[in-house]
Amino acid sequence: MPHRLIHTGLGLDTPNNGVKLVDTRVSQGKYAALSHCWGKKQPLRTTRSTLDNHLRHIPWTAIPRTFQDAIGTARVIGLEYIWIDSLCIVQDDAKDWEVESSQMMDIYSNAHLTIAATWGTGSHTGCTLQTKPTVYARPLVYHDVSELPLNTRGWVLQEQLLSRRVLYFTPTELRFECRTRETCECRLGSCTEGNQIGPPTQPRRYSPSWHRLVEEYTGRLLTFQSDKLIAISGIARKLEDNADRRNIQIGHYVAGLWRLTFFLDLLWKADTKTSSMTQHSNTYRAPSWSWASMDGPVRYDAWWWSCARAETVAVDLLHCHIEPSGADHFGNVRDGFIRIRGMVTEVTLRNKTAVKDVTQHDGPEPIVAWSGATFTRACLVAMQRVLRHPVDSSEGCASC
């Protein structure tokens, strides 16, 4: 259970007067969770100065429309409680925020239902549909909701993937998704696949699955780039938990990468085709070899996965050190480094030169053109393929 929940006023004669923050050490029960955009205008928040008042009563007139709609929806379903981030986490208490944000996997996984205010751009937009039909004819509904405001936000990816059930309020209809099925009011978008995070049966297959999640996540927006690791920590924790329960070894989680598939996870690059703004962060939040050190989207090339299987990696990871910022090793980090050992050779760095599949080179001498950003992560992984007849190599350690 989250440490705090909002009582919806269910069962009271005047339910709107019964909305308040509750301590779950005293009151417990099934609860809903709200997934929403904060927007440019700050939503109603619990702070150290308002905590005691919110524990006694939260005036209905002070609650923004999105929260009102979510609380009303929870009541209709018969849920006594709802979790809303800005109200259930003390926003100006760094310790409370660190503890509660590290529990996102449990909060959304254990919620009876997640209510997603998909089209709303802020807490004052509301959840309910923008228009009500005035005729009984229905146009063809556009089911792709990926570009709706909520689904462009970074935090929301884990909120939706970790939830048991999600009720989406879209501009045209309600959509429902659980771990086995997805359906909507018009039924044209019904399918049999849900949103569960299922672990692959083999450890190496975690890499392409994780890579797709990283691509999706980094393509989304974060109000605070410092949340880069913490806002996906719930998914990482869930993957590790699923793997442990099935006795699948994937290694420790290290700043956005997995120890067992570390060198395959290193093969990311800035997605300049999607955004020209992708660049290393000006403030430290992860080692330079982690995609989390970048502002903007990153991507993995599929051909790297086909030519750089784990058994062909010609590099040894001698040591990997990560120093978390707090108690949560899935969250933010303050420092980290790796020490590796592998073959070395001379290469030519040419800016703005596309990386080509080195396995297709048949010349007498290995000639490789790398972009500067790709060289440090990829060249050693491919070296075994490049050097068909290995030359005398020096062996040593390199830190990145």
Q: pLDDT of 220-258, one tens digit each?
A: 989 888 899 999 999 998 888 887 777 776 778 999 999
Task: Specify whether 172 is located in the same domain as 235.
Answer: no
Residues 163 and 221 in one domain: no
Domain assignment present for residue 341? The answer is: yes
Q: What is the pLDDT of residue 362?
A: 45
Burial class (CB in 10 A: 0-12, 13-18, 19+), 202: exposed
Pairwise pLDDT comparison (315 vs 27), residue with the higher score: 315
pLDDT, average across residues 109-121: 89
DSSP 8-state secondary structure symbol assigned to residue 322: E
Indicate the residue among 153, 184, 215 that finishes a domain.
Answer: 184
Tell me how crowded residue 65 is: count the other CB atoms within 10 A of its CB.
16
Tell me, yes or no, whether 29 and 174 share the same domain. yes
Q: End of a domain among 157, 184, 211?
A: 184
Residues 6+ apart with CB under 8 A from 349: 370, 371, 372, 375
Note the pLDDT of residue 231. Answer: 92
Kindly state whether residues 103 and 219 are assigned to the same domain: no
pLDDT in tens, 265-294: 888 988 877 766 777 888 898 999 999 998
Comparing 371 with 167, the larger pLDDT belongs to: 167
Strand extents, DSSP E, the chain: 4-7, 20-23, 31-35, 81-83, 113-116, 165-169, 174-178, 182-184, 253-254, 257-258, 268-270, 279-280, 294-295, 298-300, 315-324, 333-342, 348-349, 369-370, 396-399
The residues, ordered by sequence, that sit 6+ positions from 261 with a Cβ below 8 Å of its Cβ are: 203, 204, 206, 207, 210, 250, 251, 310
Residue 220, domain member (yes or no): yes
Is residue 189 a part of any domain in this protein? no
Same domain as 229, residue 347: yes
Domain shared by 171 and 236, yes or no: no
Domain count, the chain: 2
* 161 and 278 belong to one structural domain: no
Mean pLDDT, to the nearest integer, of 362-367?
40
* pLDDT above 80 (res 82): yes
Q: Residue 260 falls within a domain, yes or no? A: yes
Is there a single domain that holds both residue 235 and residue 354? Answer: yes
- Percentage of residues in the chain having pLDDT higher than 70: 72
Q: H helices within 246-351, ranges in order?
A: 262-265, 302-307
Type of residue found at 141: V
Q: Which of 184, 214, 241 is the last residue in one of the domains?
A: 184
CA gap 337, 212 in Å, rounded: 25
| Pair (223, 147) in one structural domain | no
Give the residue numbers spanning the domain of 29.
4-184
Question: Any idea which of 5-19, 118-132, 331-345, 351-365 has the lowest mean pLDDT?
Answer: 351-365
66 within domain boundaries: yes
Query: What is the rounded CA–CA span in Å between residue 249 and residue 259?
Result: 10
Statement to judge: residues 177 and 28 lie in one domain = yes
Tally of CA atoms within 13 A in the half-sphere of 248 that contains its CB: 19
In a domain, 195, yes or no: no
Residue at 197 is within a domain: no
CA dihedral (344, 347, 352, 355) positive or negative? negative
* 192 belongs to a structural domain: no
Average pLDDT over residues 162-167: 89
- In the DSSP assignment, the letter for residue 339 is E
Same domain, 208 and 106: no
Same domain? 180 vs 314: no
